[in-house]
Amino acid sequence: MITATPTPAALGWQHHHILSLADFSAEDFQTVLTTAASFEGVLSRRTKKVPTLQGRVVTTMFFEASTRTRSSFELAAKRLSADILNFAPGTSSLSKGETILDTAKTYLAMGTDIMVIRHGQAGVPQAIAAEMDRLGTGVRILNAGDGQHEHPSQGLLDLYALCTTFSAEAPNLADLKGKKIAIVGDILHSRVARSNLWALTAAGASVHLAGPPTLVPTEFLDYFGDDRPITLHWQLEPALERADFVMTLRLQHERMAQHLLPSIREYHQQFGITRDRLAGCNPGVRVLHPGPTNRGVELSSDVMDDPALSLVSRQVTSGIAVRMALLYLIGGNLP
């Protein structure tokens, strides 16, 4: 029962905002897993709501397209009994010249406690968090994807989906130690890959990246430093060999400034995940994709729709409990 969940402070939770997973310790990751599992218990009850954030205001501010992340945060906030405001840039005063910071201050003036922010430019959630701190507002900021930088809640729900394959009730970070995880595709443009890399290397997994050199450049590794062992491949087979999990990423056409690929067809031939290609993986291999998927490009429909292979639906479902956990951990001890 969630009523028995300790307060965030008692769990040792220190993060005021969630902007990046680079500064998460192994204990932080485990706290998210354990808290999400307790909320999963709530979601399996007939009454799927707890009063945890009653009277609190959560505002989602998505300056970039989203299907699952925004809806999942909204449902998570509702399950915690918060009031929720959804800002839609297309119909807002942004079109009248208002700045993003002034938009954030408008929602602050309405009593927002937590802002969930997505923006196409890296650093926007951080800038709003800095301003909220400077003003001494106490408002918490959750980064829901900033440019190519990070997408922490996706990294955490992927971690949860992985760990719950070993134990649904008590997901444990240590279960990923030594497991081989291949991340395939457009790594360069992927905020999901960056957040996942912080999480998976903290868990001690053996992480292998695969993609064409234009999308998996050697310099990419400099960002993570030598203490985060990551192996890079420009061919798919060595990355998949004896892999326990295969994470595929969307080809991000909207973020490709120049032509980095010969053709989509050729990309699929070289890096698309099909049933045949998975033959070299460990028995029981599972495939993930954060969505949205270009079916038949990153992943064949046959693999994506096979419940014995694909964790794609589980990722979406996990997103709700994980985002409840995140809202609780940063919002549960608001003044």
Out of 155, 185, 272, 290, name the contact with ligand NCD by CB under 6 A: 290
Number of residues that bind ligand NCD (CB under 6 A): 11
Tokens of 223: 């960002």
From 192, 189, 276, 289, select the one nearest 236 (Cα to Cα): 276
Mapped onto helix, strand or coil, the DSSP state of residue 268 is helix
Q: Does 196 bind ligand NCD (CB under 6 A)?
A: no
Nearest approach, Cβ of residue 47 and ligand NCD (Å): 28
Out of 36, 192, 215, 330, name the contact with ligand NCD by CB under 6 A: 192
From 184, 144, 179, select the one nearest 165 (Cα to Cα): 179
Length of the chain: 335
Q: Does 289 bind ligand NCD (CB under 6 A)?
A: no
Q: Toward ligand NCD, which CB reaches closer, 217 or 291?
A: 291
Q: Does 320 bind ligand NCD (CB under 6 A)?
A: no
Nearest approach, Cβ of residue 215 and ligand NCD (Å): 13
Nearest approach, Cβ of residue 118 and ligand NCD (Å): 7
The answer to whether 273 and 300 have CB atoms below 8 angstroms apart is yes
Out of 17, 191, 194, 323, name the contact with ligand NCD by CB under 6 A: 191
Nearest approach, Cβ of residue 291 and ligand NCD (Å): 5
Nearest approach, Cβ of residue 67 and ligand NCD (Å): 8
Look at phi and psi of residue 11 and say left if phi exceeds 0, alpha if psi is from -120 to 50, else beta: alpha
From 271, 259, 252, select the one nearest 189 (Cα to Cα): 252
Residue type, 123: G
157: Cβ contacts below 8 Å, ≥ 6 apart: 315, 318, 319, 322, 323
Residue type, 138: G
Q: Does 291 bind ligand NCD (CB under 6 A)?
A: yes
Q: Does 208 bind ligand NCD (CB under 6 A)?
A: no
Q: Toward ligand NCD, which CB reaches closer, 5 or 154?
A: 154
What distance in Å separates the CA atoms of residue 43 and residue 210, rounded to the nearest whole number? 36
DSSP element (H, E) containing 181: strand 180-184
Q: Does 318 bind ligand NCD (CB under 6 A)?
A: no
Q: Does 286 bind ligand NCD (CB under 6 A)?
A: no
Please give the residues from 36 up to 95 whose contact with ligand NCD meets the rule CB under 6 A: 68-69
Beta strands in 54-139 (DSSP E): 57-62, 83-87, 114-119
Q: Toward ligand NCD, which CB reaches closer, 72 or 206?
A: 72
Q: Toward ligand NCD, which CB reaches closer, 6 or 291?
A: 291
Please give the residues from 146 up to 175 whose contact with ligand NCD meets the rule CB under 6 A: 151, 154
Q: Does 125 bind ligand NCD (CB under 6 A)?
A: no
**Nearest 5 degrees, angle CA 184-CA 185-CA 190?**
105
Out of 180, 250, 268, 286, name the contact with ligand NCD by CB under 6 A: 250
What distance in Å separates the CA atoms of residue 53 and residue 68, rounded to the nearest whole number? 22
Q: Does 248 bind ligand NCD (CB under 6 A)?
A: no
> What are the residues binding ligand NCD (CB under 6 A)?
68-69, 145, 151, 154, 191-192, 250, 252, 290-291
